[in-house]
Structure 1
């Protein structure tokens, strides 16, 4: 009799926030950005990633993928930058969201593309390909970035000129940012490269590093200097592995949250 009257166990809290979509912007037929309402209790470090997804179809399990938060840690909304994969389990549906729709977001941000994983230096190189630009949108809008580094270089490599999403923002828009506009104007350099169309800085970023063009264009003598340069990498697996090997040749050491050092990459995206 006691068992029959016992209260049911409390429902297990969901590991996800269910959030409204605030806006969506389609850059090309392959790239889009969107923002969701930030939960009041959500805290993260600029550069971290979180799981984003949608409920499973026909009552199935939610489909989620790791996305870097493109907003700085102080922002009131959470922005994300995504590719569109026509037959992708998540993005085939996610690319169709509109303002007012709802998405799932994990409650535990994490990642190594954070300032805490780097030791002190003079120049910070944020090197990304494709949607690997997302964490730099966060880090480049964090006041701590400019307090720690005298120069910040955002490098974005894409296939076509149209893929340079946020080009106008990094070229000029960030200068009007209410918190870091003045610092960005004085300390930030935007360095885009394009691999499949004519462009003033053509080719893969790894090739421009190996040829020395990257350093000549930026007025840096002698390549990466372990005493002065700190680097973050995000994007394609091929770029990350090749660039990491180049950094090691220059004498830079990989860091982590536990042991900060000269450069970091996001192993959750590399495998």
Structure 2
């Protein structure tokens, strides 16, 4: 048996030495909505770092750890800590159904999807994360960072969060932060996924909107039978956030009409959904051929926020 490639659940002195050197946190709790989706709570050895809703930090595992896809292990002679940035999510409510603020928990929560890229030369992290179990050790970044926060939002502003897949994660912590501080404007959090089973926070979101009349959650799918089968009795077609942000559709879905002068929109997830413009050879900004949220919102009177020119469209790309 090769001691550098131990069976699942076993270790070696070399591997334990590497773990002691690189790891500074433990898995406190782990929930799998399905085998490609994880909600994991990480407890650091030191104090839990404070963070603002929307910020991110890094998770990491060694190249020597096993992978859920059975991929090869790295040689111990060339150990490497594989790290990646993840937005910090949060539990929406406690066991009594009350708001659970970011500064009231002794762990950090993350919402992660399994990414398998067999042809990539980069050492993949998520196939290793998806082998974790409660009590396992890993690396946690010491300081949450990021400017994708609620800093520009005033108490009476309306806020729209739009995310794809696990891009919902920062919007969870931002929504709770708003509600906990008594925000009075409308709050909408909408997300687009392939299947209903990809909605890891659905139950909590439904409870949350029952508790707060000015908070609404919208979940939209693209691959359920009602999205692709025109003969389905509840056929609606594929539902993308670009469709929902249209003024009439938004009004019909959420019951109010956003005013661009009083509304901030936060976009996180698939770059195609966000649709950022790029400069052409003449230095002009050009939007993608397929309209994304930024172009649609710009057409409605919103302004893309940049470090030099603040606006009310904010974004966080996931790749």
Q: TM-score, normalised by structure 1?
A: 0.80
CA drift of 1:35 comes to: 0.4
SS at match of 2:102: coil
Distance in 1 (alpha carbons) for counterparts of 2:60 and 2:175? 26
Question: Secondary structure at 1:65's aligned position in 2?
Answer: strand
How far is the alpha carbon of 1:149 from its aligned partner?
A: 4.3
User: Which residue, out of 108, 113, 116, partners 2:151?
Assistant: 116
Query: Closer, same or farther in 2 for the Cα pair 1:212/1:29, shift >3 Å?
Result: farther
Q: 2:213 aligns with which of 158, 161, 186?
A: 186
Give distance in 1, aligned partners of 2:309 and 2:81: 34
SS at match of 1:26: strand
Aligned-pair CA distance for 1:56: 2.7
Task: Name the CA distance, whole Å, in 2 between partners of 1:218 and 1:119.
Answer: 21
1:32 aligned counterpart, secondary structure: strand
| 2:303 matches 1:253 | yes
Question: How many angstroms apart in 1 are the aligned matches of 2:196 and 2:270?
Answer: 18
Q: Which has the higher helix share?
A: 1
Match of 1:219 in 2: 255
Aligned length: 246
Alignment of 1:110-259 (within 5 A): 110-118=145-153, 122-143=157-178, 147-172=182-207, 174=208, 185-197=212-224, 198=226, 203-210=239-246, 212-221=248-257, 224-241=258-275, 242-255=292-305
Offset at 1:118? 4.1
Q: Residues of 1 paired with 2:305 and 2:293: CA distance? A: 15
Does 2:105 match 1:104?
Answer: no
4+ runs of 1 displaced by more than 3 Å?
Answer: 117-121, 143-149, 199-202, 256-260
The CA distance in 1 between the partners of 2:29 and 2:245, in whole Å, is 37
Which segments of 5 or more consecutive residues in structure 1 lack a partner in the other structure? 1-15, 176-181
How far apart are residue 220 of structure 1 and its match? 2.6
Query: In 2, distance between residues paired with 1:213 and 1:83?
Result: 29
Counterpart of 1:10?
A: none
1:262 alignment partner, one of 312, 315, 318: 312
Match for residue 12 of structure 1? none
Larger deviation, residues 40-49 vs 196-205: 196-205
Alignment correspondent of 1:70: 89
What is the aligned counterpart of 1:43 among 42, 46, 50? 50
How far does residue 208 in structure 1 lie from its aligned partner after superposition? Answer: 2.6
CA gap 1:87/1:185 in 2 versus in 1, 3 angstroms: same
Residues 23-62 of structure 1: matches in 2 within 5 Å?
23-38=29-44, 39-40=46-47, 42-57=49-64, 58=76, 59-62=78-81
Runs of 5+ in structure 2 lacking a partner? Answer: 1-21, 65-75, 91-100, 119-123, 228-233, 276-291
Write the distance in 1 (CA, Å) between the matches of 2:192 and 2:180.
22
Distance 1:189 1:34, change over 3 A: same
Q: Is the 8 A contact 1:52 1:106 kept in 2?
A: yes
Which of 1 and 2 has higher RCO (CA within 8 Å, sep 6+)?
1
